[in-house]
Amino acid sequence: MTEQIGGSADGRRSERLRLGRRSILKWAFIAAASGAMGALAKPVLGAARQSPEDKAHQHTVAQAIGDTEKRVRRWAMIIDLRSCDGCQSVGKPPQCTQACVQGHYAPEPMEWIETYEAELPGGGTQFIPTPCQQCQNSPCTNVCPVGATFHSPEGIVLIDQERCIGCRICMEACPYDRRFFNWGQPTQPPETIFQTYNPENQSPAYKGTVMKCNFCPHMARSGRLPYCAQACPNNAIYYGDLEEDLATNGVQVVQFSRFASYNSSYHLKEDLGTEPRVYYIPGYGQNVGRNPYKKGRKPTVWSWQRSSDGGETWTR
């Protein structure tokens, strides 16, 4: 396995050099364009009165160059287990997992949000969808020897596969088992040929690197819910911003702090002091009529991978 990882690193190193040159030119262009747009915006921003067209232009400029007066988002999630039945009611594998696999081209056997079936203390079971917990006191970022895993300004824990050396120390440190290793060359669909690598979407995937749930902040910024929240048939997953104290499951909007506290939310393995940003409301699917003694969930399917050529599969 060491030999495979080394070969992959050499290939990535030459690719990084090419990406580096493109990145320099790209950011130089963005900087020049931002300066030009900023100059154009000055008379609009300084006008005593603004027409609707001026206001629209000002909004466009702010979006293009970044509105520095806006608060930095603090993305978080609430999973209402009262509404989660592991998708037993629709007779399918957990749709949050399936949508994540399909949307991110997660290689088999990776389940970035894995739905566990856990025993209840009084008998029966409950389903617990488990993404990366986005810990604010994260063991994984504390142990990475090369800084490949880090916190974004929004508090999301990301991995830069172009920096990752495949030591897997972060995997050992994660108490939630939410990190995955590319033991072989992952299958990649044709669409990834046109994608520019970014730690927020982790595509295309690299052999010999670690991957995980990235909380989809790039989707949230464009006004979309993460794949998992969009796909949940029972609307059990709420995604929101702690800074604005709001969250939504796509059907209703709630006050994050009130909704979490009023329903006695908790964190997984709270005693570890990892300070996760994923909150759970206790339950076993009772809001959608689930019988807790009905056990079993259908297995996850990597349908996109089976329709693509090349690549390898492995077991965890």
Same domain membership, residue 139 and residue 273? yes
Same domain membership, residue 234 and residue 182? yes
pTM as predicted: 0.78
Q: Which domain holds residue 224?
A: 75-306
314 with 184: CB under 8 angstroms?
A: yes
Q: Comparing 12 with 280, which gets the higher pLDDT? A: 280
Mean pLDDT of 92-103: 97
**Number of folded domains that form the chain:** 2
Query: 311: pLDDT confidence band, cut at 50, 70 and 90?
Result: confident
Same domain membership, residue 231 and residue 298? yes
Residue of 96, 172, 175, 171 lying closest to 128 (CA atoms): 96
Ranking 33-42, 182-191, 197-206, 216-225 by mean pLDDT, the lowest is 33-42
pLDDT in tens, 146-181: 999 999 999 999 999 999 999 999 999 999 999 999
Same domain membership, residue 61 and residue 197? no
Beta strands 246-248 and 157-159, pairing class = unpaired
CA–chain centroid gap for 11, Å, is 26
Query: 62: pLDDT confidence band, cut at 50, 70 and 90?
Result: very low
Q: Is residue 314 part of a domain?
A: no
pLDDT of residue 228: 98
